[in-house]
Amino acid sequence: MRAESVKALEELAAWLPDVRERIRGQIVIREAKTATGTMTAVSIDHRLTCDLPTHAGWHVQTKQAFLSQEHFGSETRIRVNNAAKARGRAIYCHDPQLAEVTSVVSYHVDERRHLPVLITTLGLRKDAEGNPALGTRTLAAALVLKHHVHAIAERIGRGGYVDLDLADKRDLEWARRLGFRKAPRLKGFRPAGEHLRQQAPS
């Protein structure tokens, strides 16, 4: 990754905790009783402006969006679409300048309250290879989405930190760029891949 891209992401990572309350205020939580317990429903429709010169802003939504096969891999599209239809556990980040989804996330909230909010898919644009500008944008969008998941974790009383079950170890580099590190072992949880954690923003 180019030095200017690294700097842009570092600046964004330092800026996002400053707008933590703004993000937190855009998370709408509803709880409904079901036959098996309480279901937490989350909705977001957040236009996040940014005063950093290298980032124009984002539109973060839980409303299901079309994921082009030219932009996202088949596994990402299947897992995110299933999460969106099953329990609304998908969040999409649109780049207003591109008028496209630049990153997407699916997550899981376990009924066992001692378990953290778990990111099950963090989808980056596959067409960013060889396109440094798009590579920066898709990572920036993923960073913005991660902070929205932090806000969800905080709002529902799961500690504010988030875990990631990374299926492909080849993706460790970008996961580390987003701030993830090795997670502690959790009783009752068996990761399918590499189990990572990002602490709550401070």
The per-residue pLDDT for range 113-156, each reduced to its tens digit, is 889 999 999 999 999 988 999 999 999 999 999 999 999 999 99
Is residue 3 predicted with pLDDT exceeding 80? Answer: no
**Domain 3-198, CATH number (from 3.40.630.30, 3.40.50.2000, 3.40.50.1000, 1.10.730.10):** 3.40.630.30
Would you kindly state where each structural domain of the chain is located, as residue ranges?
A: 3-198
Q: What is the pLDDT of residues 23-69, one digit of tens each?
A: 999 999 988 776 666 778 899 999 999 999 889 899 999 999 999 99
- The predicted pLDDT at position 135 comes to 92
Estimate the crossing angle of helix 132-155 against helix 3-15, to 10 degrees: 20
Query: Residue 106 forms beta bridges with which residues?
Result: 90, 121
CA gap 36, 42 in Å, rounded: 18
- Provide the pLDDT confidence category of residue 86 given band limits of 50, 70 and 90: confident
Closest among 147, 145, 94, 155 to 121, alpha carbons compared: 145
Model-level pTM? 0.93
Mean pLDDT of 97-106: 95
In terms of DSSP H, where are the helices of the chain? 3-15, 20-24, 74-87, 132-155, 172-177
- The predicted pLDDT at position 15 comes to 95
